[in-house]
Every structure is written in C-alpha cells, then in structure tokens.
Amino acid sequence: MVQLPENSCNIEGSDELYRANLSGINLSNSSVGEIFMEGSNLSGANFKGAQLGQTCLRNTNLRGADLTSADLRYANLDGADLTDAKLTNACLRNVVMRGANLTDADLTGAEIEFIQEMVKDSIFCRTIMPDGSIYNGTI
C-alpha cells in the first residue's frame, strides 16, 4: 500500500494519475483537486477529509473507499464504482455521476445538490441516503 504523509500532500492539477493503480492509498486530509484520474483503481483508498473538487474520477474503481467528509464539489464520477464506499458527511454539491454504482454506499449526512440529469442511470441498491433511509433503484 502506498502511504503518503497525512496533512501534507498537495498534488492538484496533475494529469499523471490516468488509469493508475492506487488501491489502498492514504490521501486523507490531502488536497488532490483538479486531477485527471479516469479509469484508476482507487479501491480501499482513504480520502477522509480530502479536497477532491473538480477531480475527474470517471470510470474509477472506488469500491470500499473511505470518502468521509471529503469535498467532491464539481467532481466527475461518471461510471464510477462506489460499491461499499463510505461517503458519510461528504460534500457532493454539483457532482456528476451518471451511471455510477452506489450499491451499499453510505451517504449518511452527505451534502447532496445536483439536478436529476447529473445522476441519470446511477445504481442505488441498499444505499444509505443522507437522511439515513435506504434507497434501491435508479434515478
């Protein structure tokens, strides 16, 4: 597992993480905004409290990732696999996640603000919504 120092990582604006295998990486409390990570393996990654605004996470594997209190404003999660991801208290304002898989994801307390078109065809199966309710279906 790649381990970076907490509270000291700033890799904003890099485009070198395209299709990278960063499974299990610890980027908690880091600033990783505006990065192009399309198709990357970020399964089991720790993004607790990370700044991920305007990051391209299209078609990424975020299975089991911890995004607790992460700021994902304006991030692109189209086609992302967020199965078992923890998004508790995350900021998901204006996130685009068409066709994303949120099976068993936990969105308890998350700030969600988007139009329906931005989450079209996303899968919600046993997904814990911000109010604690369980949702099954597509939007």
Amino acid 116: pLDDT: 83
Q: Which residues contact 11 (CB under 8 A, 6 or more apart)?
A: 17, 30, 31, 32, 35
Amino acid 2: pLDDT: 42
Tokens in use for 101? 């898989």
- pLDDT per residue rounded down to tens, the chain (139 residues): 444 444 445 565 555 678 999 999 999 999 987 889 999 999 999 999 999 999 999 999 999 999 999 999 999 999 999 999 999 999 999 999 999 999 999 999 999 987 788 899 999 999 999 999 999 987 7
Amino acid 1: pLDDT: 40
Encode burial over 31-45: b for 16+ CB neighbours within 10 A, e otherwise.
bbbbbbbbbbbbbbb
Tokens in use for 27? 């980027």
Rounded Cα distance between 49 and 38, Å, is 21
Other beta carbons within 10 angstroms of residue 120's beta carbon come to: 14
Amino acid 12: pLDDT: 56
- Comparing C-alpha atoms, which of 116, 114, 111, 76 is closest to residue 97? 76
Amino acid 16: pLDDT: 65
Amino acid 11: pLDDT: 60
Q: Quote the pTM value.
A: 0.88
